[in-house]
Chains A and B, each alone.
Chain A
Amino acid sequence: NAGVTQTPKFQVLKTGQSMTLQCAQDMNHNSMYWYRQDPGMGLRLIYYSASEGTTDKGEVPNGYNVSRLNKREFSLRLESAAPSQTSVYFCASSYYSGAEKLFFGSGTQLSVL
């Protein structure tokens, strides 16, 4: 049972490059989330998907887009990376819609030079 799988684990980008972070869960969860983690700031919500076919903005959505491809997969896209997007990104999922009992992936460490 893999849980929440994120790829890649590490990525280095140059300013202006684009990339997509992939996330998949095998727990038949309904809601999925993307967070970023910066030192001293906890986790901040970028986007979430309460159910298949729906997405909504979180606290820090600027510079990102998401796609809920199906019930299992939720991807995060950076169209034109900026140094301010250097962070650790976590995908999470939950059976519930209210961000209860979240299961997190192991994270993607992204550096934008």
Chain B
Amino acid sequence: GENVEQHPSTLSVQEGDSAVIKCTYSDSASNYFPWYKQELGKGPQLIIDIRSNVGEKKDQRIAVTLNKTAKHFSLHITETQPEDSAVYFCAASITDSWGKLQFGAGTQVVVTP
């Protein structure tokens, strides 16, 4: 089955700097790659997702890039703000796999003023 590895496990950045989280996946058939943000005491919330027919997607200060050949994808957060502090999870799946979404272990991001 699919295996997703996520790095780093913790990331501390100065407010205003950029943050980058990287994930690798094992199943070359995976074609859907979402990113979720989890604030303390809450459930994960989808912030951006990308499909394998797209190499990059942006939404305001966040962007995701996908390299199918290397089987890795990354989340980029620019101009970080204190409200970006949270745990971020990457995930991968095959869209017709009936629920088999595999999550990474998560990255704790701390934005310091």
A residues apposed to B, CB below 8 Å: 4, 31, 33, 40-45, 48, 50, 56, 58-59, 90, 92, 96-107
A40-B105, A41-B105, A43-B89 are contacts. A98–B43 as well, Cβ < 8 Å?
no
Q: How big is the B interface, by class?
A: 20 to 34
A42-B106, A43-B89, A100-B49 are contacts. A56–B98 as well, Cβ < 8 Å?
yes
Among candidates B44, B45, B89, B93, residue contacting A98 with C-beta atoms closer than 8 Å: B93
Is A106 in contact with B100, judged by CB distance below 8 angstroms?
no
Measured CB to CB, the closest approach of chain B to A10, in angstroms, equals: 11
Is B49 in contact with A101, judged by CB distance below 8 angstroms?
yes
Measured CB to CB, the closest approach of chain B to A112, in angstroms, equals: 21
Measured CB to CB, the closest approach of chain A to B30, in angstroms, equals: 11
B residues apposed to A, CB below 8 Å: 1, 4, 6, 9, 32, 34, 36, 41-46, 49, 89, 93-101, 103-106
Measured CB to CB, the closest approach of chain A to B108, in angstroms, equals: 11
Is A98 in contact with B105, judged by CB distance below 8 angstroms?
no
Closest 4 CB pairs of A and B: A104-B43, A42-B103, A99-B101, A48-B99
